[in-house]
Structure 1
């Protein structure tokens, strides 16, 4: 059960190292010598403290913890303590099982080593740490646990391979996930160049004019050209967006470091925009949609980033929108609800209002198009042009923001 917990965390993209897992074993061993018992709750906090180093993964950690332990140990702390003690009695064996990392190779060395082992191997192998096969800890094969290997056939499970050997007959791709540099290049096209500011002396124009005047000198002053484009990045955070945090972070890094925009701002929301947008991912600094519309004119470019996937009532139900505003629907009086029900708008209606206010708008979805078969994704895509968060998708979104 406990070892399964470790592997499930890694399968869900919480990059727990074997060193951190051993730290957990040692912490629990020390705690078992204390007089107070180790409860499920204490184990939860100790394991989260040692295994998770970024609060963005807390929600995923909770889901994995519940899937492994809830229902098997219920609330019986005595049973849990016995399971934990039995587990810790074999700590030396556990350390041997997870403490010895398989070798890591660079891509070039991987291919050289693969060629060598294929020439030596004479039969099928499953498990183990050397030969080409399935499962095990060898860097070659599929369904294994090596952090950096070559996947040969099979299906990706833990996303650990650094190279993949499959039958791929396809052209060079423009739908690959993006690096910061690729983001920056794609966003560079977002320009709205206009002559602004005080006139400045132009050497090139002055020389050209002097030549045209048969040598009669003439000084030419022109206004400098500056990008007046204002870009707002509105990002969905938390929940199902957590696995995409690294990709979205690269987009945010590229946009925030770009110095060619007239203005760049970013805001956060969860699932869909309700009454407010937020300046921080903790939802403490907010701006109402009314103030948002007043602050940014209709020429502003709006770029949403989110998977657009949620329970339909979160998008279409007024009562859920009311709950999002006041965070205590169960305590809200019927009188207050009656007063607000005429002005409350669903998340879907808010998106329609944003689209009506800003014509140059696009939505980037980090999920592949094959996963878009969902009611809320379809509905949002009908209002705001939606593109996949790939190189091709970003180029299409940029063209949409430029009005091309």
Structure 2
């Protein structure tokens, strides 16, 4: 019986010849990406413990920039800096203001996360890094402490499903549209298994789009998502990788518990919400619904691919006078790329506010000028639409791609991007 990508990665990490679904293993961790959280620091300091390998821990400041919050940057960031200094974590591993960004974006664009590795993240959306042909899950809570101290992950080898992609996405359709289709179709089917992506259509997907798809892992019920290390990924990694790596591919006769085939050409702009990630409809069914706020950013969007298409839609257009629009690049690197390409100027000329990198308006406790008031309706390219997440619990949050957000912001109502693109 052939082995899946997941089984091969976990076998290597466990120093085993092979592993099967259901086996319990202890895997060696290659890198741990941590947002600006310090929940485990007190335990380590109080017990005078040491991290397993200071070189393999990466902190990314992304959430907490509001000093007025009890848990804000005025307390968290200095504490993390001091902890890193005492533990010998190199300064270059601390992605502070000026270098900062999302904790599952920065480690990818900075070459920390490599094919064939176990690369974990202390954030719910850590599976985003699975676009790098690695096994990655969120550690969260006490699991982060264990990994920080031991560099090991206790893991039950999961079953895998195969997602085979064919064709090419239509113009104006992005990774989030793929995510919503998969949530709608497979949300009750995947059941905590790992999704392994393959098929001839994968090569048509830029890395940014792959990351957006992997970002939806938790929402679609998967433990994580693993993409192949094809030509596109290896070209992306060539100038970034911090060390050698060995790409992992499934055996031709790898055994999957289910196989799903999709033609990417059949995907269309979709919208999720309000208040329920599983309430998914074509944007055409909601066309005409007025909006008062629009947001592009968070770990689900804000990458260069998102910003580029959104700017194309808003070029020579204005944000509707009844709409407040905020754009938050996902990282300092992406912000610089977008600045050099003239993309940020397009947003500003259209009447949007561009902020410094971070999680931004995705959660009302983050630094962002966009806080929803009672009765408002927002179209957002962020990751969650739970009532109250972006401000008032009576506000409505509809989730869509950056292209849907840009088109809707210009129209003042929910609409798709087709009419805005040549």
TM-score (norm 2): 0.28
| Rg larger for | 1
Higher relative CO (Cα under 8 Å, sequence separation at least 6) belongs to: 2
Give the TM-score of the pair, scaled to structure 1: 0.28
Q: Name the structure where helix makes up a greater proportion of residues.
A: 1
